[in-house]
Amino acid sequence: MQIVLATHNPHKVDEFQAIVAATRPDLQIIAYDGPEPVEDGVTFAENALLKARAAAAHTGLPALADDSGICVDVLGGSPGVFSAYWAGHAKDAAANLSLLLDQLLDVADANRTAQFVSTIALVVPGAVVPGAVAAEQVVQGVWPGRLATAPSGAGGFGYDPIFIPDGQPAGAERTVGEWSATEKNAASHRARAFDALVPLLQHL
């Protein structure tokens, strides 16, 4: 079965394809080339549903949409839904990362806790199952950790080079930018959200 992923971000498409292939090889994630809705929601769930509904309506296929970001405790959960636009609407990942580090310049390591959050919405048009109404589901994955004081590693994208996930051996901690794609796809916030979504996909 084909499921369209409601994003124009090729990094997200690659990640989802790898994550889905590990548990549901019968599903084919395809890229979305249609119009993007205005993401004017104030929560991850609202924005994910906006994107998934638009993709499902445009393609007639079941649609997945991820809305995700970094939530820094000392900043009250920001950047949160504004992670991609933290330094302005240009969506400049390097500028976003630099601004966040500058804002945390004098914050001690113990207070640099943060979480990557991924909310995935699944929208299935009624036409997929004749006589049925459109179905919508929302799940969330949270990946706790803390922020480094400087970027490290060339892997991943976005805030990955400054995010140090919890649970690593003391003295051998690495940012996600230093992880392999396989390591990240097995543990990330998107992988955790997709794990919660798998039981719902059984009904497709």
Going residue by residue through the chain (204 aa), what tens digit of pLDDT does each one get? 899 999 988 888 888 888 888 888 888 999 999 998 999 999 999 999 999 999 999 999 999 999 999 999 999 999 999 999 999 999 999 999 999 999 999 999 999 999 999 999 999 987 655 555 568 999 999 999 999 999 999 999 999 999 999 999 988 999 999 999 999 999 999 999 999 988 887 766
Find the helix or strand (DSSP H, E) in which 175 lies.
none
Residue 67 is among the residues annotated as catalytic for this protein: yes
Joined together, the tokens standing for residue 52 give: 């998934």
Number of structural domains (the chain) is 1
- Residues contacting residue 129 through CB under 8 Å, at least 6 positions apart: none
Catalytic residue, from 67, 92, 109, 166: name it. Answer: 67
Residue of 22, 56, 20, 23 lying closest to 37 (CA atoms): 56
pLDDT at 132: 52
- Which pLDDT does position 34 carry in this prediction? 93
The answer to the question of whether 58 is labelled as a binding residue is no
Annotated ligand binding at 89? The verdict is no
Q: What is residue 47's predicted lDDT score, i.e. its pLDDT?
A: 96
What's the burial of 157, exposed, middle or buried (CB within 10 Å: 0-12/13-18/19+)?
Answer: middle
Residues in Cβ contact with 190 at an 8 Å cutoff, skipping those fewer than 6 apart: 12, 15, 16, 19, 66, 68, 118, 120, 141
- In order of 8, 23, 113, 122, the CA distances from 196 in angstroms are 24, 12, 24, 12
pTM: predicted TM-score of the whole model, two decimal places: 0.90
* CATH code assigned at 59: 3.90.950.10
pLDDT of residue 164: 98
What's the domain range around 196? Answer: 2-201
In a 3-state reduction of DSSP, which class is residue 155?
coil
7 is in an annotated binding site: yes
Query: Was 16 annotated as part of a binding site?
Result: no
